[in-house]
Structure 1
Amino acid sequence: MDLALLRTFVAVHRAGSFTRAATLLGLSQPAVTSQIRTLERQLGRPLFHRRARGVTPTAVGDELAHKAAPHLDALLRITDSERETAGSARTLHVAGPPEFLTLRVLPALAPLVGQGHTLRTALHNDAAETLEGLAAGHHDLVVTTSRPRGALFDAAPLCDEEHVLVAAPYWAALTDPQRLREHGAHALEGVPVVEVHESLPLVSRYWATVFDALPGVAATVVVPDLRAVLECVRAGAGLAVLPRYLCRDALDRGQVVALLEPAVPPLRTWFLVVRSGGLALAHLARAHERLTSAAARW
């Protein structure tokens, strides 16, 4: 059986689409369709159900993918290792939110540059857009708080991010901690809110988890970067909900104050996502391992 046909078949099985698989393989969509039809004729069985949007595998298709994919990945791992031995430079394309990429991901990956790799980043706050880019082959590795579903992606939990309700000392001095614990968000009435979006995504999650309520205020300052939110809070613009890793230094220096330390703080899980089979590539597996090891200390 032609390995090229099997490679195309596994790509379609993982992508769930002839068009998407064609993009990943660097082929035209008609070429992918033709290869799948050839393989189906050779096997005498249909491998996919054609749908209005993409394809789904038949039972025979699922069985073939289960048998073939590990061996194809192993071959890819061998050829990629030979390429590295020959000294071919590899570029790693990473995507995710700017703050987490800047403060967590890139420092962990930086040592790879000394091993002959190059890094390229794409900053996206929209998880759906980032995963679409990964599916289309624009990125090699993505960090996101949205766990993707389906056979196209391999997603591994990376770390949990604790959220903290913070304000500058001026606003903290005007807030009664006891009243805040007893009356919840009502004790914060009159304190301006700084957020990354008009919909108050971080504040709303914190309010729902800690106060069992929704915020009844609009943001006073909206800026789409958590680092800018921190600077606004530090300068006295109001309160905000921020990841602890981002504001830890400001907390330690007393530049911002945690208004509340709930027994069970709100958490958000980060996932490290690659395309299925992508870890057969040595440079991608190395980056994946570096990030998971670094995350154990975060």
Structure 2
Amino acid sequence: MSYLTQLKTFVEVYRCGNITKAAVTLGMSQPAVTAHIQVIESLMGKTLFVRKARGVEPTPLANDLMLQVAGHIDQIEQRIESVRSRSQAVFGTLNVAGPAEYLSFMAGPQFANLLKSGEVNLVVHVGNKNRIYELLQSGVADLAITASLPDPAGYDYQIIDSETLLLVMHQQMATQFDAAAIDYQQLCQLPVVSYDHDLPLIRRYFELIYNQPCKSTVAAVIPDIRAIAAVVNAGVGYSVLPDYLYRDKLRFPHLVQVGAAGPENHIYLVWRKGALKQARIAFAKDMMMMHANLNRHSAGASTGEYAPPLLR
């Protein structure tokens, strides 16, 4: 006997944490949803959910079952929706969230490919990591671009690009040092310009290259990497920037790289689990992924190296 329908109901109840909400999402009655859960509980021989005042709480067995079946249920529904939507027009407004720096420097072709399809309108929301995930979680954003690895429990994703972190300073300041291998102690005597007080990009660079924390005095905290590049380009301190900003010599002609290239960050295209059931979002994801690895390929072209695609 097939239990596909009942398993789909189980997955929705698990994600909603509430039988009534799951019933609304599935277009079913509450008793029908309860009956589906009872069928799976009978099959498993144990209770899957404990009723609470404001919903249901999954048991350890439910957690295990969810881990085993949810991805397969989503894939089946995505395949069915993909076949169904091929003969249907995909219209509507798409909301995409992401960091202003990557969107303004690299995402133009990805957005253009989507808009040239003539099927959707586009609204872009910018913000930091917390803001991006707030927009995605609340449903305001359909897709998000972020350098932060998504939580696989709540999101699906693909790698859409990558960036290499580089240590940069004004060319005149760099003449004081051995640019190929600047000393850790020398660096710590210089002021640094950071995205926030936690020194996220700078901390990652120092951990990889020097295996020590950055001890520089923070000259400025600026939550916009483009503005950080402009300040350092004007001769204040140093910073760690994504390589695509460093390559913009028209805007930042005085920046020079010092020291070794730092770690590589993946850039992710992210969506809520189950979101690709909507043909509009699935279509937009595919259109944007057609221009994956824009920065990585640009970096390879600028160095004369071939950069193979990250996606498998």
Q: TM-score, normalised by structure 2?
A: 0.74
For 2:303, the equivalent position in structure 1 comes to none
Decide whether the 8 Å contact of 1:77 with 1:281 is kept in 2: no
Secondary structure of the residue that 1:250 maps to in structure 2? Answer: coil
For 2:223, the equivalent position in structure 1 comes to 224
Q: Aligned pair in 2 of structure 1 residues 283, 124: CA closer, same or farther (>3 Å)?
A: same
**1:136 Cα offset (Å):** 3.5
For 2:310, the equivalent position in structure 1 comes to none
For 2:309, the equivalent position in structure 1 comes to none
For 2:239, the equivalent position in structure 1 comes to 240
Q: Please, which of 137, 141, 144 is the counterpart of residue 142 of structure 1?
A: 144
CA distance in structure 1 between the partners assigned to 2:65 and 2:207 by the alignment: 46
- The answer as to 2:107 corresponding to 1:105 is yes
CA distance in structure 2 between the partners assigned to 1:38 and 1:26 by the alignment: 11
Decide whether the 8 Å contact of 1:171 with 1:191 is kept in 2: no
Alignment of 1:107-146 (within 5 A): 107-114=109-116, 115-127=118-130, 129-146=131-148
For 1:73, the equivalent position in structure 2 comes to 78
**1:285 Cα offset (Å):** 3.1
Secondary structure of the residue that 1:133 maps to in structure 2? Answer: helix
CA distance in structure 1 between the partners assigned to 2:102 and 2:234 by the alignment: 22
CA distance in structure 1 between the partners assigned to 2:99 and 2:292 by the alignment: 16
Q: Deviations over 1:218-244 (max 9, x none)?
A: 310111000111111111122111000
For 2:271, the equivalent position in structure 1 comes to 274
CA distance in structure 2 between the partners assigned to 1:191 and 1:8 by the alignment: 59
CA distance in structure 2 between the partners assigned to 1:67 and 1:108 by the alignment: 29
Secondary structure of the residue that 2:223 maps to in structure 1? Answer: coil
Alignment of 1:246-257 (within 5 A): 246-250=245-249, 254-257=253-256
For 2:300, the equivalent position in structure 1 comes to none
Identify the structure with the greater helix proportion: 1
Decide whether the 8 Å contact of 2:190 with 2:216 is kept in 1: no
Structure 1 residue identity aligned to 2:270: V
Q: Aligned pair in 2 of structure 1 residues 150, 192: CA closer, same or farther (>3 Å)?
A: closer
Q: Aligned pair in 2 of structure 1 residues 199, 43: CA closer, same or farther (>3 Å)?
A: closer
Secondary structure of the residue that 2:236 maps to in structure 1? Answer: coil
Decide whether the 8 Å contact of 1:251 with 1:257 is kept in 2: no
Decide whether the 8 Å contact of 2:109 with 2:291 is kept in 1: no
For 1:49, the equivalent position in structure 2 comes to 49
RMSD: 3.7
Secondary structure of the residue that 2:247 maps to in structure 1? Answer: helix
For 1:181, the equivalent position in structure 2 comes to 181
Decide whether the 8 Å contact of 1:10 with 1:69 is kept in 2: no
Q: Aligned pair in 2 of structure 1 residues 159, 20: CA closer, same or farther (>3 Å)?
A: farther
Decide whether the 8 Å contact of 1:47 with 1:58 is kept in 2: no
Q: Please, which of 284, 287, 296 is the counterpart of residue 284 of structure 2?
A: 287
Q: Aligned pair in 2 of structure 1 residues 131, 27: CA closer, same or farther (>3 Å)?
A: farther
**1:197 Cα offset (Å):** 0.8
Q: Aligned pair in 2 of structure 1 residues 83, 292: CA closer, same or farther (>3 Å)?
A: closer
Decide whether the 8 Å contact of 2:230 with 2:252 is kept in 1: no
Q: Deviations over 1:67-94 (max 9, x none)?
A: 754443344335544541xxx6222221
CA distance in structure 2 between the partners assigned to 1:190 and 1:75 by the alignment: 60
Decide whether the 8 Å contact of 1:169 with 1:256 is kept in 2: yes
The gaps in structure 2 that reach 5 residues or longer are 296-312
Structure 1 residue identity aligned to 2:12: A
Q: Which moved more, 1:136-145 or 1:160-169?
A: 136-145
